[in-house]
Amino acid sequence: MKTNKKIVITGAPGTGKTSVINALKNKNYKCLPEISRQITLEARENGIEQLFLTDPLLFSRKLLEGRIKQYKEAELLEGTVFLDRGIPDVIAYMDYAKDDYPQYFNDACKKYHYKQVFLLPSWEDIYTSDNERYENYEEAEQIHHYLKAAYENCGYDLIEVPKDTVENRVEFILNQLD
């Protein structure tokens, strides 16, 4: 196992996570992408428009498996590794949907721990919808609160990233690293 710091960038849909991750990549940081879009696209290829809405538990199981796999992939990398969302995001979305989930979801959150978690706040000025994002802005705001609660319940002290330019947000994150 390599020595590294796994850092999560999380936040509700449309908060600028992907832009921040891409900017970190451009600075040659190791970054692992969000995987829910991939699961959504695979489901569409099988005729299911929105797997999370059709079968939230199946979607979340696939997502949990993918995020654990991604965590293990990050273990093999040296240095600081940024992840676009973490394992507790799965619980946050299930809580938001008011769906039950097996205990092993919570167990995974305890077993796989991240060094730091950065939370990007809801930001209406930059929020946009797209083919994989089904939430409206009001729903995204609610998801923000569930994300915050899920990570705090897992023992994380969240670092909220200020609303600012992508460059300033990246600089803020890099200056906060332990």
List the chain residues with pLDDT less than 50: none
Measured CA to CA, the distance from residue 175 to residue 94 in angstroms comes to 32
Q: What is the CATH number for 119?
A: 3.40.50.300
Show the domain range for 60: 4-176
| Pairing, β 79-84 against β 4-11 | parallel
| pLDDT tens string 119-128 | 999 887 886 7
Are 10 and 119 in contact, with CB atoms under 8 Å apart?
yes
Domain count, the chain: 1
| pLDDT tens string 77-110 | 999 999 999 999 999 999 998 999 999 999 999 9
